[in-house]
Chains A and B, each alone.
Chain A
Amino acid sequence: MGLDFGFMQKYLPWYIDAAILTVRVSFFGILFSLVVGVICSVIRYYKIPVLQRIVSVYIEISRNTPLLVQLFFLYFGLPKIGIVWSAEICAVVGLAFLGGSYMSESIRSGLESVEKSQIESAASLGMSKALTMKEVIFPQALASSVPGICANVIFLIKETSVVSGIALADLMYVTKDLIGLYYETDEALIMLVAFYLVILLPVSVLASLIERRLRYAGFGN
């Protein structure tokens, strides 16, 4: 198959814009899902009465529905009761809604891996509960939940590919547009794969580097 390089060059800026959008949505989505994840995992860790129930319902709902359906509900459904968000905000909210539960599961397993003796030692030093969390439990938990978090980050970046469903001009959207406009299918698809590799490969390599580095960070083993 002869590739039309002129075409690829001409539409490169479209892809770059789209890639920036994909990265921006993923960045904010992942940031907020980490925030949601930390809050939810701390609530579940301390078994705070009512909130714990709400969090576990949220986690079940978010883990058992596809992102695309969540986005359709946010973008097309909610405006009918007066909540109107732009497509990009919907995408970030949807991603945070989905990612929050995945992050929370990873962080919680990290929190639970911190030994009881650590907490007791902190208590015997007279540290308050909040200080113990901040200085003793959380740093250690983070180290052991990093592999899970990294896997979630990659998963969430991949999930952003569905935002084209709510008319955001991401990589998928541009590709579909170009295929529909000019029938340059091979070129458009090759650019699509290349751009996703450019975004995802460094993240994946970085993730495995961090994981390898953190294997030495474990306490007492």
Chain B
Amino acid sequence: MQDSGIKVLFMGKNFLRLLEGLWVTLRISLIAVIISIPLGILFGMFMTLKNPISRAVSRVYLEFIRIMPQLVLLFIAYFGVTRTFGLNLSAEVSAVIVFVLWGTAEMGDLVRGALISIPKHQYDSAAALGMNRIQTFWYVVIPQTMRRLIPLTINLTTRMIKTTSLVVLIGMTEVLKVGKQIIDANRFEYPTAALWIYGVIFLLYFLACWPISMLAKKLEKRWR
């Protein structure tokens, strides 16, 4: 029967289990975003330093993190670190570490972009008014960068949510895995369950990300 598959969703606690699975990845992305915002701001300021060594270091870090697929980074953190250093990181901890490293790089680049977009005359004018460096930063630079940064940071959050779906491939039990368990458990009674379950997961991700990207779009338009 074609339409029987959807019943699986409402049997027992199946739907609740899917939501719990989604929460696993959402939790990782939330933790990673919360940690990478302050680190990224520091990293972005670090990248604007004129010192050649700090420039080279930050550039290599940024380029390496950016050019590697996030899944490769996850593999390195989960399989490689465990093996090489004998550290037994759980999948969740290594996922958080990887996404913090990645988020810091991306956030840092956003902060750098926002910082260098401020024209030099802003600094000169602040200096002419007798502001010191901290005052210049606090009253002149931060208010102007914030408008640009907040929509981009919100966008980064949606990218983070989408990317954390990869953790299933290092063996975490998140929404896709739970979905697979439900499908396998009902394989003979409801053969079409896969269509509905994966369709619902698709929809759940959309519902998680769409409002956030709408918010970012709105703010971007208003503050332009």
Interface positions of A (Cβ within 8 A of B): 1, 60-61, 63-66, 68-70, 72-73, 76-81, 154, 158-162, 164-165, 172, 175-176, 179, 183, 185-186, 189, 192-193, 196-197, 200-201, 204
Report whether B206 and A165 are in contact in the complex, using a CB–CB cutoff of 8 Å.
Answer: no
Q: Do A68 and B166 contact each other (CB < 8 Å), given the known contacts A1-B84, A73-B199?
A: yes
Report whether B176 and A63 are in contact in the complex, using a CB–CB cutoff of 8 Å.
Answer: no
Interchain nearest-CB distance for A143 vs B (Å): 22
Report whether A77 and B195 are in contact in the complex, using a CB–CB cutoff of 8 Å.
Answer: yes
List residues of chain B with CB within 8 A of the CB of A161.
69-72
- Classify the interface of chain A: helix, strand, loop or mixed: helix
- Among the interface residues A179, A186, A192, which one has the most CB atoms of the partner chain B within 10 A? A192
Interchain nearest-CB distance for A34 vs B (Å): 21
In the bound assembly, the distance between CA atoms of A116 and B192 in angstroms comes to: 53
In the bound assembly, the distance between CA atoms of A154 and B66 in angstroms comes to: 10
Report whether B69 and A81 are in contact in the complex, using a CB–CB cutoff of 8 Å.
Answer: no
Interface positions of B (Cβ within 8 A of A): 2, 5, 67-72, 75-76, 79-80, 82-84, 158, 162-163, 165-166, 168-169, 176, 179, 183, 191-199, 201-202, 205-206, 209-210, 213
List residues of chain B with CB within 8 A of the CB of A69.
165, 176, 198, 201-202, 205
In the bound assembly, the distance between CA atoms of A192 and B77 in angstroms comes to: 13
Report whether A76 and B194 are in contact in the complex, using a CB–CB cutoff of 8 Å.
Answer: yes
> Given A64, A73, A81, A175, which contacts B209 in the complex, CB threshold below 8 Å?
A64
Report whether A64 and B5 are in contact in the complex, using a CB–CB cutoff of 8 Å.
Answer: no
In the bound assembly, the distance between CA atoms of A160 and B79 in angstroms comes to: 20
Report whether A64 and B68 are in contact in the complex, using a CB–CB cutoff of 8 Å.
Answer: no
Q: Do A80 and B76 contact each other (CB < 8 Å), given the known contacts A165-B169, A185-B83, A201-B67?
A: no
List residues of chain B with CB within 8 A of the CB of A189.
75-76, 79-80
- Beyond A65-B205, A192-B75, 10 extra complex contacts between A and B, CB < 8 Å: A68-B168, A69-B201, A72-B201, A73-B201, A80-B192, A80-B195, A185-B79, A189-B75, A196-B72, A204-B67
List residues of chain B with CB within 8 A of the CB of A179.
79
List residues of chain A with CB within 8 A of the CB of B192.
80-81
Report whether A196 and B165 are in contact in the complex, using a CB–CB cutoff of 8 Å.
Answer: no
Q: Can you list 10 A-B pairs, Cβ within 8 angstroms, ordered by A? A: A60-B213, A65-B206, A65-B209, A69-B176, A69-B205, A72-B176, A73-B201, A77-B197, A77-B199, A79-B194
Report whether A176 and B75 are in contact in the complex, using a CB–CB cutoff of 8 Å.
Answer: yes
